[in-house]
Amino acid sequence: MAGRIEPAPTPLIEALWRERWGIPVVTPEREYRPEDVEGRVERDGEGSVRGLVTWAIEGTRAEIVSLEAMEPGRGSGSRLMDAAEAELWRRGVTAVHVATTNDNPRALAFYVRRGYRLVRLHLDGMERVRRLKPDVPAVGNDGIPLRDMWELEKGL
């Protein structure tokens, strides 16, 4: 069941990032703090957060900085990406890119189904992340060594 999607206030972004991602969020090209991004949050009927998507716009390009569905597989990620892409298109963005880690084939499949294409492989990209966030583990999901970052892009 779909919830309501609304602009995500910076304090909410900060709280969720601290809990789930750590700050800063590090992508292949830069580091982001909550005040650097915009986003949308999905809430259920009681106001609880179901998911969050954040992005940063630079000219006609945007980067999806984070996407988090609190209960994966229930459509929140898709609804949030639909909302983000619609807003980015409305604001003149023509290309969106996103990165995920090599231990997350589920995310890769999600983005590819949405029309994103793999455009870059950042070999050992997680080393840059660990320089800023030393607590990031060496082993990720399903015991996969957490080393590389996959960058995908989609035209709007």
Domains and CATH numbers, the chain: 4-155 (3.40.630.30)
Between CA 122 and CA 155 the distance in angstroms is 21
The dihedral sign for the CA sequence 148, 107, 112, 8: negative
pTM: 0.94
- Closest by Cα among 15, 99, 85, 83 to 49: 15
- Closest by Cα among 120, 125, 65 to 96: 65
From first to last of its 156 residues, what are the pLDDT tens digits of the chain?
A: 678 999 999 999 999 999 999 999 999 989 999 999 999 999 998 999 999 999 999 999 999 999 999 988 889 999 999 999 999 999 999 999 999 999 999 999 999 999 999 999 999 999 999 999 999 999 999 999 999 999 999 999
- DSSP letter at 129 equals H
Between CA 98 and CA 132 the distance in angstroms is 20
Between CA 119 and CA 72 the distance in angstroms is 25
Please name the helix (run of DSSP H) or strand (run of DSSP E) that holds residue 40, with its range, or none: strand 38-43
Bridge partner residues of 6 (DSSP): 41
Q: Give 135: exposed, middle or buried? Use CB within 10 Å, 0-12, 13-18, 19+.
A: exposed
Residue 96, CA distances (Å) to 19, 59, 115, 135 in order: 26, 11, 11, 29
